[in-house]
Structure 1
Amino acid sequence: MSTVSENKTSLNDVPPGGAPPADPGRWRALALLGVLQFMLVLDITIVNVALPKIETSLGFTQSGLAWVVSAYVLMAGGFLLLGGRLADVFGRRRILLLGTGLFMLASAVCGAAVNPGMLVAGRFGQGLGEALAAPAALGLIALLFTDSKERTKALGIWGGLTGIGGITGYILSGIFTTYLSWRVIFYINVPVALMLLVVVPRIVTETRMIRDRSHRLDFTGALLATAGLIGIVYGLLEAASHAWGSTRVMVPLIAGIVLLVVTVVVESRSSEPLIPLQFFANRTRTVANVTALLFMAAFIPYSFLLTLFEQQVLGYSPLQSGLSYLPLGVAIGMGIGMSTGLTPKIGVKAISAVSFIGAGVGLFLTSMITPDSSYLGGLLPGMIILGFFAGATMPAMTNAALHNVTGQDSGLASGVQTTMQQVGSALGLATLVTLAVRIAGDRLADGIAPATAVTDGFVMSFRIGTVLLVLAGILVALLLERGVAAEPQPAEVHS
């Protein structure tokens, strides 16, 4: 296999108004970066089906068990923006390799965990590894593919892996948990990451912006934002078992909100903010990122709660529950294919608006479940519709999130988008899962049968998720610019 030598230059060396030549190894690079993305996204959902086994094995409390999921998405979401800027400044390939190595070590810690604290610490480490690797990888794609049509295809593949990787996590978790051990879901990352660490430097070229030594990186903003999000999510999760006015709920919620306000104040006064305010001056990018948050706030709780419904109400085994998501993955793939082909012809706006609302219809159908629902008649119709239209939103909105992004800020733009996805996942889980638990508790207190009470909680959460998806579609229809295509512009020349 031929290799591509490292290019120490950056887009800053491209003449103004020009475009860098296409990298001859771009498709091989995309294949490797796709493997990385698949592995990272997989670890958001792969633990879900295995949670009961993990709880028994390590002695988790039920409230503590939620952090096995939340630790990952919170750390990833909180530091992705910093990761994107680190990639822009120090080199996207270099930061990608650093993040991949950290992810590998943290995965080994998770697999070897002997107590709850060790596993949660490992999950925080995995999230930090993603925060470094994911924006660097997406930034590389935006720069490797200089032709707009090729870039649309590449970003479509990338966006599709986000959805398919999440669904595959449930299937693999069911298989590994049933036939091997829950520890395998973490150990499987080690050989994959090792392969990437060896092969990526031989295929992927280095790119970075020129950085003056006087520039600084905003670690303070990242720490404040992450701490604030952790406080809010902790408070919301505590509300599942404590009154809203209790100190266990209000103290972390108020502290989290205060920290986020402080973050905004600090960032507005910083000469080198984590996110320059002018980044959001582009209406299309702003809409794309807001809808990414709304989408994940509905989609991730859907899959989380549906898994609980299948195992706790319908009595599915872990393997049955994992395999039940296979049609969802197929539907997502079909939606991605349709969107990738039609977006260049009819535009991001039309595809996204219809797809968000269509996904809402699918989630609403799922909210019609009862304790006696069958898989074919009760779960599958909504799953297929939701999956198809959810898949259709992915490549289209990835293009919108990178609309008119300069080459030097491609890592930042991809970091903002992925941050919104992770923050949406964490807030959606904390809010909708808490809502489902509280409704079930109220129904049980009224003397309703347990299966019906639990189902009522899931139904209400699914319907709120429906509202979020429809709202995303309305925002796109009203606010997204026409003729959107992701075409990162050459970076400015710095003297």
Structure 2
Amino acid sequence: MAEKVTSGRPSSALRRVLIPLALAQFICSFAGSNMNVMINEIAKDLGTTVQGVQLAITLFLLVMAALMIPGGKLTERYGRKRCLNLGLAVFGLGALISSASQGLPTLIIGYSILEGIGTALLIPPVYILTTLLFTDITSRARAFGAINGMGGIGAATGPLIGGIIATAISWRAAFGFQAAIIVVIVLLSRRDVRDPLPAEPDRPFDITGAALSAIGLVLMVLGILAADKNGWLMLGLIAAGALVLVWFFHTVRVKERTGREPLLTMELFRNRTSNLGLVTQNIQWLVLLGISFTVSAYLQVVHGYNPIQTGLILTAATVGLLISSAAAERLATRRAQRTLIMAGFVLTTTGIVLFLTLNAVSSSKVWAYLPGLFIIGLGVGAMLTPSVNVVQSAFPDNLQGEISGLSRSVSNLGSSLGTAIAGTILVAGITKTPERSYALALAVLAAVGLAGLAAASFLPNTRPATPAAEPLPDTPHPGAKRRDGGLPGYTSPEGADKRTATPDPKAD
């Protein structure tokens, strides 16, 4: 049974629960950001290429995007604590396999597939358990602030910590670090984390929808990755992926018409403002991860920087992102969400242009990298929260869980597309020199950023009455009632408090 909180401050027992949940978010964010600084080291050690490592990174992000919503659904059927433990086990196994990799296929199995599946299984329970256990709105907001703060620290310090470990020991030790953190989380969660609600083994699960959505997304991203090898193969894979996704949406409509529960409700796609917000979210993560991959590869391959040097240079973007993210809530009370999103795209594109300009003048000087990266970080940090707010505020409370899961999947899909597009340009041989290939990749990402600016310009120019926070990711299907009569993820675990409230946490 969950512990009630009425004072706004969690009890010592709930504070202990928060530690493993926050560590779980930290390590997943760390895993998504630390690989870029080890591209060269991994490629040399495994006898592969930068493109091979790019494939592993892209697939990791893609597996998360494809499975995050199904992962959230499974928590209803099998229980949140069980899914958390399973996700931790799969993630830890993937980290161990990755650390012992002797070739690219093994790295893909360990990192891309197993760690991707593990993340999709364990992240939804982290946020759902927090919602269920912290029943007071104020204490819940503080809990999510702590969890997302650790997520931000993991993403921000991933390149630096990964670079230090890879330089001092080996890139393999970075995966050993991940496995060690997983062991700590398992021990802490076993002692302190309890699931306040029973599993619902009879709850229906849309297996067909989960499979079709995953296959469609995978085929489309693989099509982009195949662009440098065979144009017809690229078009064929993308077309096949589009057809599978059309099939997926058809099955969703059929299930809704017959009264069955689909993976997603079509209502999520009928709101113009939300659709535009999802487009901006996807483009933001596409640009961010594309830039991170391109700049990391450029520093290592062209200039020969080691992982720790690369991580230190990328810290300029991290500082910019953290500064603007910290000011996001205050800015949301003073400026319209559309204004903040458009300003973010303008800053990000300006940062890319500045990075290219300064490198054309003095590409061998470290100082030439820093101003552009800092401005890119400022731009991305300024628009991430408003884009999610736009999407989240477009729906009533009973759809907050589903739109949060869709929002997170769209963001992860953008991340995988960013590395896929940037990596494909780098190895396609479009230009005669490596330096021009990296410049072209960044120029393409700047053009995509301008497309995001155009999409943002169509958003309504309204300001929220109160500061909106980013959504609770990957909560269960909110349209179905629990046995206690409440909406899943938004009620008191005891069922005594029947109030529902818009979630306060920030999405990772």
TM-score w.r.t. length of structure 1? 0.82
Once the two structures are TM-superposed, the CA of residue 199 in structure 1 deviates from its matched residue by: 1.5
CA gap of 1:455–1:480, structure 2 versus 1, over 3 A, is same
Matching of residues 13-412 of structure 1 within 5 Å:
24=11, 25-60=13-48, 63-123=51-111, 124-145=113-134, 154-155=143-144, 158-159=147-148, 161-208=150-197, 211=200, 213=202, 215-240=203-228, 242-244=229-231, 246=232, 248-270=233-255, 271-281=260-270, 285-343=274-332, 351-371=340-360, 372-373=362-363, 377-403=367-393, 412=402
Task: Say which is worse superposed, 149-158 or 40-49, in terms of deviation.
Answer: 149-158
Shift in Å, 1:219:
2.2
The separation in 2 between residues aligned to 1:406 and 1:300, in whole angstroms, is: 31
Unmatched 5+ stretches in structure 2: 473-477, 486-508
Q: How many residues align?
A: 470
Over 3 Å counting, the alpha-carbon distance change for 1:367 and 1:204 in structure 2 is farther
- Distance in 1 (alpha carbons) for counterparts of 2:334 and 2:196: 31
Q: 1:300 offset after TM fit, Å?
A: 0.1
Report whether the alignment pairs 1:485 with 2:475.
no
Are residues 424 and 315 of structure 1, via their aligned partners in 2, closer, same or farther at CA, if it must alter by over 3 Å? same
Q: Which amino acid aligns with 2:437?
A: V
The answer on whether the counterparts of 1:362 and 1:383 sit within 8 Å (CA) in structure 2 is: yes
For the residues of structure 2 that align with 1:320 and 1:152, how far apart are their CA atoms?
37
- d(CA) in 1 for partners of 2:395, 2:8: 18
Distance 1:477 1:374 in 2: 44
Separation (CA, whole Å) in 2 of partners of 1:20 and 1:260: 47
Q: Which deviates further from its counterpart, 340-349 or 106-115?
A: 340-349
Q: Distance in 2 between matches of 1:209 and 1:403?
A: 30
Cα RMSD between the aligned structures? 3.5
Q: Give the conservation status (yes or no) of the 8 Å contact 1:230–1:256.
A: yes
Aligned partner of 1:430 in structure 2 is 420
Residues 393 and 272 from structure 1, CA distance in 2 versus in 1: closer, same or farther, beyond 3 angstroms? same
For 1:348 and 1:473, the matched residues in 2 are separated by 9
Moved more, 217-226 or 284-293: 284-293
1:221-240 Cα offsets, whole Å, 9 max, x none, are 22222222222222211212
Q: Which residue of 1 aligns with 2:406?
A: 416
Distance 1:325 1:265, change over 3 A: same
1:87, 1:208 within 8 Å by CA — same for their partners in 2? no
Shift of 1:480: 8.2
Contact kept, 8 Å, 1:360 with 1:470, in 2: the verdict is: no
> How far off its partner does 1:40 sit?
0.5
What's the offset of the Cα at 1:369? 4.7
Deviations 1:234-292 (A, max 9, x none): 2211212x342x3x323322222222222222222222211111234556654443322
Give me the identity figure in percent: 26
Instruction: Kindly indicate whether the alpha-carbon contact (under 8 Å) linking 1:233 and 1:427 is maintained by their aligned counterparts in 2.
Output: yes
Which residue number corresponds to residue 491 of structure 2?
A: none
How far apart, in 1, do the equivalents of 2:326 and 2:103 lie? 43
Q: Following the alignment from structure 2 to structure 1, what is the Cα–Cα distance between the partners of residues 23 and 405? A: 18
Deviations 1:87-106 (A, max 9, x none): 24443333222212211111
Conservation of the 8 A alpha-carbon contact between 1:138 and 1:414: no
Q: 1:7 and 1:30, CA in 2 relative to 1: closer, same or farther beyond 3 A?
A: closer
Partners of 2:61 and 2:454 in 1: CA distance: 23
Cα distance in 1, alignment partners of residues 199 and 204 from structure 2 = 13
Match of 1:216, SS? coil
Displacement of 1:301 in angstroms is: 0.4
